[in-house]
Amino acid sequence: MISISSTTINPDQLRDALVDPRAGAYCSFEGWVRNRNEGHDVLSLEYEAYEPLAITEGKKVIAEALQKFPGLHAQCVHRVGKLEIGECAVWVGVTSAHRDEAFQACRYIIDEVKHRLPIWKKEYYVNGDSGWVNCERCQSHAQSAD
């Protein structure tokens, strides 16, 4: 259902695992490392996950998705470690009888995965800086607390 991977994600293989003769619709989402984020030129990035809870929470997310938008199968894989531009950071795939459920469940899973799983992203910029994404407030508070 959900896994954390330290090696390249293979969407093709993951897709094939969801094949089902009852499935009329397959929706997939991939998050790719892009070369800019919030005005910064990004060189690469690094994901860190706390795997035990990422798995527990990810399973909940997938179960919720398949309950809210009845589908057949859903799977998610999240990368950890260092990633280069263009690499796949997260993959979600859903099959269902009809397309509406596949789209909605897929969207639900990626939205919740981004907000709920203990996974953190550190960006390395072209100018040599680096920073943890979404952590400006804790960083600036950290600095003012020094």
Partner 1 sequence: MKTLTVRYFAVFRERAGLAEEVLELEASTAAEVFAATRHRHGSEEPLGHCKVAINDEMASWDSPVADGDIILLFPPVAGG
Question: Phi and psi (nearest 5°) for 30?
Answer: -130, 135
d(CA 138, CA 119): 16
d(CA 128, CA 28): 34
53 binds, among a second copy, partner 1, none (CB under 5 to 8 A by kind): partner 1
Binding of a second copy by 36 (CB under 8 A): yes
What character string, x for contact with a second copy (CB under 8 A) and - otherwise, covers 45-84?
----------------------------------------
69 binds, among a second copy, partner 1, none (CB under 5 to 8 A by kind): none
Binding of a second copy by 30 (CB under 8 A): yes
Chosen residue from 5, 31, 125, 132 binding a second copy by CB under 8 A: 31
Instruction: Name the H helices within 1-146.
Output: 11-16, 51-68, 99-116, 136-145
* Residue among 86, 73, 79, 74 at smallest CA distance from 36: 86
d(CA 22, CA 33): 34
Chosen residue from 15, 43, 114, 125 binding partner 1 by CB under 8 A: 114
48 binds, among partner 1, a second copy, none (CB under 5 to 8 A by kind): partner 1
CB 13 to a second copy: min, Å: 9
